[in-house]
Amino acid sequence: MPNKKIFILLPDGIGLRNFAFSNFYKIGLEKNFDIRYWNNTPFDLTSLDFDEIKIHGAKSNLLTDSYKNARKHIELNLSIKAQKDTVYDTYRFPFTYNKIRPALKNLAAKFLIATHSSYRGLEKIRKKIKNLESSTPYYNTCIEILQKEKPDFVFCTNQRPVLAIAPLLAAKKLGIPTATFIFSWDNVPKATMVVETDFYFVWSEHMKKELLQYYPYIKESQVFITGTPQFEFHFDKLKLISKEEFFKEHQLDLDKKYICYSGDDITTCPDDPQYLNDVAKAVRKLNSQGNSLGIIFRRCPVDFSDRYDFILEKNKDIITPIAPLWQKIGEGWNTVLPTRGDNLLQVNTICHTEMVINLGSSMVFDYACFKKPCAFVNYDVSNKIDKKWSVSKIYNYIHFRSMTDKKAVIWLNSKDEIADKIKLSLEQKNEIVNNAQNWFKIINQDPPEDASIRIWENIEAILSKKHNEKN
């Protein structure tokens, strides 16, 4: 079979970390694929010596946002009815009406939700989205690019962006096979699917079952289990620097052992600064008992707020902030782009800290890769910023139900037990780590370091089958 041209569609910056900053491109070249990045991000991939085709002036139909939002809410309504579980309501974002244009879009979406909340109605919404997006100048431009370049396969790095719809519809119109990657472990139950492709690449058997459950129009033969490239960095020893070098670079104390506190965004955890303060108090208590501990604070990459400043200043003797190396190019969370340098920073932060503390994040799996424990914050503070918010909302999400062994993490059930739990995790981490690694095998295909290889092998298998069918 001759070399096949593969388009890697980057509709936004989400896919950069997995598919540009990993070994994904290198592995594809080694398998003799001709790779072009169809790039709708501001990042210049030619700086990495990648071949790219820039997408310019991409715009969706004015009505598509309303239909997309309606689709999400209808899918959640149907999940509530089918599963008899109101947890799906917690995946909704409130409609806003403070500006005219968003207000009109949201009013249209609410009307569509009210009139189409059935499987038949959902099918009409899906069809309408395709019709709207195939009527745009952007779609026609995509047709022209694909006719000129003639790729054999279009692989979309993220199933969520509206701007991915037109390129994939154009590819389908021209008979070019398409696939999308489900980019996060919690995405499927949240009704985040916007694109529809010929094939779907998922993290695990668990995610495959979810996909088939929530999207009955997808057939089992369309789904491929590959794992995700986001954990591959952790297994590349060449990315690690020595403890001495890392500590010197970030002005850390070689006589201390460090805990990583991994922050959340303000929507996920409005009380995060107070939890960081509670952890700092616990570390002070442990240090007064003869320990020598410090905290590295890694904030959420999309949180540029000043909400931690007071806590960091008050505890600057024990907390060292090491900010993620992401670039902010706009106001929305999806306009903050990862960088290649942050991959190195993250793996070395994990390597040179003893454990991580956070509120229910996938950092538990990052640390499991390094055989290190994770503690989950599991209590509400007394003076909550948002009285309606609670940690119970977070841990009730569907994706946490995959944790069949609750001892996969250390549960911090009150601020008073943080010190003892930190001490316990540092002294008796093996059982916790083993349980976390078993949970990781449910969430992500094992071995995790081979995800990119599996993705390319499945693309190869799809194209080989198509080639054989033609002949």
Question: Residue 38 belongs to a domain with what CATH number?
Answer: 3.40.50.2000
Are the C-beta atoms of residues 381 and 274 closer than 8 Å to each other?
yes
Which of 86, 112, 132 lies at the terminal end of a domain, its last residue?
132
Same domain membership, residue 251 and residue 200 = no
The domain tally of the chain equals 3
Mean pLDDT of 228-257: 96
DSSP string, 232-287: GGGG-GGG---HHHHHHHTT--TTSEEEEEE---TTT-TTHHHHHHHHHHHHHHHH
Same domain membership, residue 319 and residue 178 = no
Q: What local confidence, expressed as pLDDT, does residue 333 receive? A: 47
Q: What are phi and psi of 225, to 5 degrees?
A: -90, 120
Q: Per the structure block, which two tokens stand in for 227?
A: 């794992």
Q: What local confidence, expressed as pLDDT, does residue 328 receive? A: 75
Q: What local confidence, expressed as pLDDT, does residue 435 receive? A: 96
Same domain membership, residue 75 and residue 218 = no
Which of 99, 132, 165 lies at the terminal end of a domain, its last residue?
132
Same domain membership, residue 251 and residue 180 = no
Integer Cα distance of 8 and 19 in angstroms: 8
Mean pLDDT of 435-439: 97
Same domain membership, residue 276 and residue 244 = yes
Same domain membership, residue 125 and residue 184 = no
pLDDT at 173 over 70: yes
Same domain membership, residue 404 and residue 332 = yes
Nearest to 318 by CA among 358, 291, 355, 349: 291
Mean pLDDT of 331-347: 80
Ranking 129-133, 241-245, 340-344 by mean pLDDT, the lowest is 340-344
Mean pLDDT of 89-115: 93
Mean pLDDT of 213-238: 96
Q: Give the 3-state secondary structure of residue 325.
A: coil
Ranking 212-221, 269-278, 419-428 by mean pLDDT, the lowest is 419-428
Q: What local confidence, expressed as pLDDT, does residue 327 receive? A: 83
Predicted structure pTM score: 0.95
Q: What local confidence, expressed as pLDDT, does residue 335 receive? A: 64
Residue 329 lies in domain: 233-443
Same domain membership, residue 343 and residue 297 = yes
Band (pLDDT 50/70/90 cuts) for residue 471 is low
Same domain membership, residue 205 and residue 293 = no
Same domain membership, residue 120 and residue 76 = yes
Nearest to 326 by CA among 335, 339, 314, 317: 339
Q: What local confidence, expressed as pLDDT, does residue 332 receive? A: 54
Which of 98, 132, 166 lies at the terminal end of a domain, its last residue?
132
Q: What mean pLDDT value characterizes the chain?
A: 95
Integer Cα distance of 113 and 124 in angstroms: 12
pLDDT at 334 over 90: no
Same domain membership, residue 339 and residue 250 = yes
Same domain membership, residue 456 and residue 385 = no
Percentage of the chain modeled with pLDDT above 90: 87
Band (pLDDT 50/70/90 cuts) for residue 1 is low
Q: What local confidence, expressed as pLDDT, does residue 302 receive? A: 85
Give whole-number Cα distances, 425 to 280, 291, 373, 407, 431, in Å: 16, 14, 7, 12, 10
